Amino acid sequence: MHEDATFPLNDAVDELLGLHPSSWTLMERTTQTIRRLAMMGNVILVGRGSNIIAAHMPHVFHVRLVAPLKDRVRQVEQYYHLKPAEAAQRVRDMDEAKSRYVRRYFRADVADPLNYHLTINTAYTGFQKAAQTIANLVRTK
């Protein structure tokens, strides 16, 4: 299931032809799965609006990891073995797709700091320190 929404007419035709369920059906099933997993606990959920879906669950801790664009581009460049321009475009495309998905299905802003208990700049902390910080906070909660 892509974060990027398909054109509604294509989506309807594909569903009628039995090629796949509609994007709305997939989102509903994904939401139900995320809700069930969050209620079970001891799980890390990433993306798909999971912070919005589980917003009112008292035992859930919402974290947003951020970094400057140049650091994120370098990470994507290394991970996917891309040229800098290709990596920059991929990062922009992923950011836009995530934003559209959350806005379309949850009428929320993925970057709204009020949707998170904690935001960590991994360019400052690094991934290991960020993970330690999160683990320490979850243990004390």
pLDDT tens column, 32-48: 999 999 999 889 999 88
Helix/strand/coil for 78: helix
Domains of the chain, each with CATH number or no CATH:
8-140 (3.40.50.300)
* Cβ atoms of residues 84 and 73 within 8 Å: yes
**Do 12 and 107 form a contact (C-beta atoms < 8 A)?**
no
Q: Do residues 36 and 92 lie in contact, with contact meaning Cβ atoms separated by under 8 Å?
A: no
Any residues with CB less than 8 A from the CB of 54 and at least 6 apart, and which? 34, 35, 38, 45, 60, 62
Residue 19 in this model has a pLDDT that exceeds 80: no
pTM value? Answer: 0.77
Q: How far apart are CA 21 and CA 108, in angstroms?
A: 24
pLDDT of residue 117: 93
Asked whether residue 1 carries a pLDDT value surpassing 60, the answer given is no
Which two three-digit tokens encode residue 128? 């290991």
